[in-house]
């Protein structure tokens, strides 16, 4: 057997190193969070409230905050992203389409702290004045800005899924008298569903993992939000807030539980995307 | 026997990304005949077909000018007029491509798809028209018991006949064929040739072909396209 070329070895080493880092992070969180797994303490994290002064370290409010902000952002971003992707890939207005695509590509590179600043100075006062309730830092404000954060990822992913439809299918639809929207509805959309689902899951992962926007705009109250204008604290914001204030207490160790939970959510989403990819063959309408 | 013209092309020019492909092409294509367009590769034969149903408009960077009039029933229609809706035109001027292009669906759904787009909802009518078009394409007996199978499980020749049947289901007055047998073996190609010879009584066929023997066997008129110029040619 011929020895692998040097470049192949280098890339293999780089891949192994990257995978090891991911596993090392998991191991690090498990080891440092070990005290949490004793005497059923870990399960109480999901049932107790967060009251460290009373020895209660539940993170259910943060889980609810994370899911609330992320799902709301997804609900807001999904139709917007689908519409933009249809405009760019299907309707293709010559100048505006290209301009929109370049803008979307540019938006993927905007740091989240910049979006957070825009939210703090423009959206927070707007929400406060429009609804006349609370500080303006709430689930809705954070979700709106998170939607702006995740939409470009979704749009580019959706455009990519649409562009993967074989040209022969599109030509067949054109030759049979389909309008662009009929072609989209009957040929492109049914055959892009896995890509659309993949992009949505990826965006959801990005929303769940974002720290800065949630920290700056969600209000950070330790209570499960029940309404759009209620403040919320996400798992990532909770980690950032605890790390900034503490170092070696049980309260501090709770952030490893939050980290493990985020890791599990990210892993579940990655596996879901891989599952979708694996099932992407020979599907018919 | 003198035949009526079906398509009259005048001053038709076409450019792709500013590179001229067709240069003031003129031709009269007779009705109910097979007209073959021959010529060397890369001269714009497929492009010429795509100007007859305005499919070229889907190609980014393409530009065309000139006049193409088609006689639908007794009326001559200038198809490049902005008043003509391309989907309307394409439902009347069917097209079959070099490689079969069934959609990723069952045989039945492939056949019913154009009717769905045309707004035909009556299931009985759809079933009848599916059967009629499949019979026209000599395919009914081979697929009648497997209509729910994925169309991509058919052989290459069967897929091409399915694509012809799918184009025929809307009862087009003109059928454009871009080298319809080039991706098939000789046996499957012969079946398609027989099919095309049968079809010309119902519709006008315009076919691009590279095979001189095929043109000799089934074409009634021949045009040669070379260096952007289209000229009537003798039977090869």
pLDDT at res. A71: 95
Which range, A260-264, B52-56, B199-203, B227-231, has the best average confidence (pLDDT)?
B52-56
Closest CA to A152 of A193, A115, A187: A115
Give yes or no for B200 touching A (CB within 8 A): no
CA dihedral sign, ordered B119, B122, B125, B129 = positive
Of A32-36, A49-53, A78-82, B13-17, least confident by mean pLDDT is A32-36
Q: What number of other Cβ atoms are within 10 A of residue A173's Cβ?
A: 26
Q: At what angle do helices B156-168 and B123-136 cross, to 10 degrees?
A: 130
Of A21-30, A168-177, B87-96, least confident by mean pLDDT is A21-30
pLDDT at position A53 over 90 = no
Instruction: State pTM to two decimals.
Output: 0.80
pLDDT at position A195 over 70 = yes
Give yes or no for A187 touching B (CB within 8 A): yes
pLDDT at res. A279: 61
**Mean pLDDT of the region A210-229:** 93
pLDDT at position A282 over 50 = no
Does residue A47 fall inside a structural domain? no
- Residue % of chain B over a pLDDT of 90: 74
Taking a C-beta distance cutoff of 8 angstroms, is the pair B167, A175 a contact?
A: yes
How far apart CA A101 and CA A163 sit, in angstroms, is 14
What tokens were used for B159? 């897929």
pLDDT at res. B102: 95
Give yes or no for B103 touching A (CB within 8 A): yes
Does residue A29 fall inside a structural domain? no
How far apart CA A12 and CA B202 sit, in angstroms, is 63
> Structurally, how many domains does chain A consist of?
1
The pLDDT tens digits of the residues spanning A153-186 come to 999 999 999 999 999 999 999 999 999 899 999 9
Judged on CB neighbours under 10 Å (0-12, 13-18, 19+), B1 is: exposed
pLDDT at res. B67: 95
How far apart CA B227 and CA B112 sit, in angstroms, is 40
**Mean pLDDT of the region A213-218:** 95
Range of the domain at B10: 5-232
Give yes or no for B62 touching A (CB within 8 A): no
Does residue A261 fall inside a structural domain? yes
pLDDT at position A251 over 90 = no
Does residue A163 fall inside a structural domain? yes
Q: What residue of A is the nearest CA neighbor of B104?
A: A284
DSSP collapsed to 3 states, A150-214: HHHHHHHHHHHHHHCCCHHHHHHHHHCCCCHHHHHHHHHCCCCHHHHHHHHHHHHHHHHHCCHHH
Pairing mode, strands B75-78 and B62-72: antiparallel
The pLDDT tens digits of the residues spanning B122-166 come to 999 999 999 999 998 889 999 999 999 999 999 999 999 999 999
Does residue A259 fall inside a structural domain? yes
The pLDDT tens digits of the residues spanning B5-21 come to 999 999 999 999 989 99
Query: What are the residues facing B175 on neighbouring strands?
Result: B94, B205
- Cβ neighbors of B128 (< 8 A, separation 6 or more) are none
Tally of residues, chain A: 285
Range of the domain at A126: 58-278
pLDDT at res. A82: 95
Q: What residue of B is the nearest CA neighbor of A187?
A: B103
Taking a C-beta distance cutoff of 8 angstroms, is the pair B151, B105 a contact?
A: yes
The pLDDT tens digits of the residues spanning A252-264 come to 888 888 888 898 8
- Residue % of chain A over a pLDDT of 90: 59
Taking a C-beta distance cutoff of 8 angstroms, is the pair A190, A120 a contact?
A: no
Q: What residue of B is the nearest CA neighbor of A172?
A: B101
What number of C-beta contacts closer than 8 Å exist between A and B?
67
**Mean pLDDT of the region A230-239:** 94
Does residue A105 fall inside a structural domain? yes
Query: What are the residues facing B221 on neighbouring strands?
Result: B35
What is the domain-level CATH number for residue B21? 3.40.50.300
- Rounded to 5 degrees, φ, ψ at B203 are -150, 165
pLDDT at position A1 over 60 = no
Q: Confidence class of residue A132 from pLDDT cuts 50, 70 and 90?
A: confident
Closest CA to B37 of B200, B226, B227, B172: B226
Give yes or no for B59 touching A (CB within 8 A): no
| Prediction ipTM score | 0.90
- Number of alpha carbons in the 13 Å side-chain half-sphere of residue A27: 6
pLDDT at position A285 over 60 = no
pLDDT at position B29 over 90 = yes
Taking a C-beta distance cutoff of 8 angstroms, is the pair A33, A253 a contact?
A: yes
Taking a C-beta distance cutoff of 8 angstroms, is the pair A108, A198 a contact?
A: no
Chain B nearest C-alpha distance from A239 (Å): 48
pLDDT at position A247 over 80 = no
Does residue A214 fall inside a structural domain? yes
Rg, C-alpha atoms of chain A: 22
The pLDDT tens digits of the residues spanning B94-127 come to 999 999 999 999 999 999 999 999 999 999 999 9
Q: If you average pLDDT over every residue of chain A, what do you get?
A: 89
Q: If you average pLDDT over every residue of chain B, what do you get?
A: 91
Do the Cβ atoms of A168 and B99 come within 8 Å?
Answer: yes
> Structurally, how many domains does chain B consist of?
1
Closest CA to A29 of A41, A39, A19, A21: A21
Give yes or no for A24 touching B (CB within 8 A): no
pLDDT at position B235 over 80 = no
Q: What residue of A is the nearest CA neighbor of B95?
A: A175
How far apart CA A48 and CA B18 sit, in angstroms, is 71
- Cβ neighbors of B27 (< 8 A, separation 6 or more) are B7, B8, B9, B223, B230, B232
What is the domain-level CATH number for residue A202? 1.10.3720.10
Query: What are the residues facing A89 on neighbouring strands?
Result: none
pLDDT at res. A284: 44
- Rounded to 5 degrees, φ, ψ at B29 are -105, 125
pLDDT at position B185 over 70 = yes
Q: What number of other Cβ atoms are within 10 A of residue B99's Cβ?
A: 15
Taking a C-beta distance cutoff of 8 angstroms, is the pair B43, B225 a contact?
A: yes
pLDDT at res. B236: 66
């Amino acid at each position: 057997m011929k020895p692998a070329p040097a470049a192949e070895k280098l890339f293999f080493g780089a891949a192994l190193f990257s995978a090891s880092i991911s596993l090392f992070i998991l191991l690090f969180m498990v080891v440092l969070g070990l005290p949490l797994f004793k005497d059923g303490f870990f399960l109480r994290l999901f049932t107790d409230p967060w009251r460290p002064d009373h020895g209660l370290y539940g993170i259910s409010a943060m889980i609810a905050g994370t899911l609330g902000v992320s799902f709301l952002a997804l609900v807001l971003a999904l139709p917007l992203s689908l519409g933009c992707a249809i405009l760019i890939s299907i309707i293709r207005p010559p100048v505006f389409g290209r301009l929109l695509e370049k803008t979307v590509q540019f938006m993927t590179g905007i740091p989240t702290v910049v979006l957070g600043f825009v939210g703090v100075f423009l959206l927070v006062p707007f929400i406060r004045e429009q609804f006349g309730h609370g500080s303006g830092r709430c689930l809705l404000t954070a979700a709106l800005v998170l939607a702006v954060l995740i939409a470009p990822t979704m749009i580019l992913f959706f455009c990519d899924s649409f562009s993967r439809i074989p040209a022969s299918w599109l030509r067949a639809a054109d030759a049979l008298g389909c309008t662009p929207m009929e072609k989209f509805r009957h040929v492109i959309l049914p055959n892009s569903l896995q890509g659309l689902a993949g992009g949505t899951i990826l965006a959801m992962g990005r929303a769940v993992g974002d720290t800065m926007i949630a920290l700056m705009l969600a209000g950070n109250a330790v209570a499960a939000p029940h309404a759009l204008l209620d403040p919320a604290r996400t798992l990532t914001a909770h980690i950032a807030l605890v790390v900034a204030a503490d170092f070696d207490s049980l309260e501090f160790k709770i952030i490893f539980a939050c980290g493990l939970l985020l890791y599990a959510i990210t892993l579940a989403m990655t596996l879901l995307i891989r599952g979708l990819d694996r099932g992407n063959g020979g599907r018919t309408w | 026997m003198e035949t009526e013209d079906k398509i009259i092309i005048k001053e038709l020019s076409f450019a792709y990304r500013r590179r001229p492909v067709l240069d003031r092409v003129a031709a009269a294509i007779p009705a109910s005949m097979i007209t073959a367009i021959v010529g060397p590769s890369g001269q714009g034969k497929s492009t010429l077909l795509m100007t007859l149903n305005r499919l070229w408009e889907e190609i980014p960077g393409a530009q065309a000018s000139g006049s193409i009039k088609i006689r639908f029933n007794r009326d001559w229609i200038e198809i490049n007029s902005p008043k003509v809706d391309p989907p309307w035109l394409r439902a009347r001027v069917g097209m079959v491509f070099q490689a079969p292009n069934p959609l990723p669906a069952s045989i039945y759904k492939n056949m019913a798809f154009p009717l769905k787009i045309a707004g035909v909802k009556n299931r009985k009518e759809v079933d009848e028209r599916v059967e009629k078009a499949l019979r026209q394409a000599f395919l009914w007996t081979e697929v009648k018991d497997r209509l729910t199978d994925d169309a991509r499980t058919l052989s290459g020749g069967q897929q091409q006949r399915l694509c012809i049947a799918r184009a025929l289901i809307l009862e087009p007055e003109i059928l454009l064929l871009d080298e319809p047998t080039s991706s098939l073996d000789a046996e499957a190609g012969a079946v398609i040739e027989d099919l095309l010879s049968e079809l010309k009584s119902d519709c006008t066929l315009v076919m691009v072909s590279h095979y001189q023997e095929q043109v000799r066997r089934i074409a009634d008129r021949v045009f040669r396209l070379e260096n952007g110029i289209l000229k009537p040619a003798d039977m090869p």
